[in-house]
Amino acid sequence: MEILYPKYYKKFSCIAAACPDSCCQEWDVDVDPESAQYYRSLQGPLGDRLRQVLQDTEDGTVMVIEDRRCPMWRQDGLCQIQAELGHQALCQVCREFPRLRHDYGDFMELGLELSCPEAARLILSDEDRDWIAETTAESGEAEYDSETMASLLRSRREFSAFLDTTSLSVPEILTVLLLYAHDVQEELDGGATAVLQPTQNLADGILFAKQSHSVPLQEFFLGLEILTPRWEQRLQQPSATPDWNGQYKLLLRYFISRYWLQAVSDYDLLCRVKLMIAACILIGHLGGNLQETSQLFSKEIENNPDNVEAILDGAYTASALTDLNLLGLLLN
């Protein structure tokens, strides 16, 4: 099986006590059934504590946070389970975070989640953006429609090559992306093969763009589930003028690697591209340090499947996410 991952993937190492926003706070931890059973079987004070903090819900077992922190987080910043039983005793989510795995049956793509500050630092640093391909002895069957996957792989490759070499500004690149995504969507729906035409795509975008304001976009995100007060405060702040520096191309590259091929599951690329574009625009308008703002965005949005679903649905229904509004925000 072929396994692909960005060069920075293997460089990741948790910075633990130096982390500015630990993954051990603010989230309830989903505990896989095997770990939950093991934790409940433990003897002594650790087992007693785990039996106390594990809760069964209709979606599975969770470790419920107390005072906005994981109850197993010790005062010295270490995890009590890891300290007493070792890394392998962690439940699956804690063992794997922030590693992402997209398994398509006969090939797999790995990545890191932007919601971890250390991963965000690696994702948004330019030096390790190349991809590595490894072949393992394992083999698997393709779990997708091969024609759809071929279209998605080709179009992603085409757009990524453009992203690597273009001298267009970030808003212009996002405009080309939106128009190109319409063409790729048409291809997925049975139409002609999409051809990336940056000059034409940009001219079309300029033609359609209307005067827009970022307030409806911020209000749309305020209507989603909110985890932390600081995210709510950021969304309520007046919009900043985006500083569209080159780091946004790295951010876009991350979104493309995370979402483009997922369209193979439901043949819908356009709503995912709108998610990427809305994310870049929102992060730009929230201002502040790009790494910190995009990490918070990811923690609030990408790590909450309900929020991701609401954006994918909203791509076709929410006025803040119409093509005209997005183009207006990019080009005016």
**Which of the residues 101 through 140 are near ligand SF4 (CB under 6 A)?**
116-118
Asked if 109 contacts 294 with a C-beta cutoff of 8 angstroms, the reply is no
- 98: cis peptide before it, omega within 30°? yes
214 is an interface residue for ligand SF4 by CB under 6 A:
no
Residue 246's CB is within 10 A of a number of other CB atoms, namely 8
Cβ proximity to ligand SF4: between 179 and 251 the closer is 251
Number of residues that bind ligand SF4 (CB under 6 A): 11
23 is an interface residue for ligand SF4 by CB under 6 A:
yes
CB of 95 to ligand SF4, least distance (A): 11
CB of 117 to ligand SF4, least distance (A): 6
Cβ proximity to ligand SF4: between 99 and 154 the closer is 99
C-alpha angle with apex 52: 50 to 57, nearest 5 degrees? 95
**Closest by alpha carbon to 299, among 116, 119, 117, 115?**
115
22 is an interface residue for ligand SF4 by CB under 6 A:
yes
CB of 89 to ligand SF4, least distance (A): 16
CA dihedral sign of residues 119, 121, 126, 128: negative
Structure tokens at 305: 């499947």
Q: CA Rg, the chain, in Å?
A: 21
CB of 116 to ligand SF4, least distance (A): 3
Among residues 3, 14, 65, 153, the one that binds ligand SF4 under rule CB under 6 A: 14
CB of 214 to ligand SF4, least distance (A): 28
Give φ, ψ of 291 to 5 degrees.
-65, -40
Q: Name the closest residue to ligand SF4 (Cβ).
A: 19
205 is an interface residue for ligand SF4 by CB under 6 A:
no
User: Would you call 309 helix, strand, or coil by DSSP?
Assistant: helix
Among residues 15, 83, 132, 150, the one that binds ligand SF4 under rule CB under 6 A: 15
1 is an interface residue for ligand SF4 by CB under 6 A:
no
Cβ proximity to ligand SF4: between 79 and 271 the closer is 79
Instruction: List, in order, residues 6 or more apart from 81 with CB less than 8 Å away.
Output: 39, 46, 50, 72, 89, 90, 94
CB of 131 to ligand SF4, least distance (A): 22
Cβ proximity to ligand SF4: between 99 and 182 the closer is 99
Residue 6's CB is within 10 A of a number of other CB atoms, namely 21
Structure tokens at 76: 């010295």
Asked if 126 contacts 250 with a C-beta cutoff of 8 angstroms, the reply is yes
Residue numbers at the binding site for ligand SF4 (CB under 6 A): 14-16, 19, 22-23, 97-98, 116-118
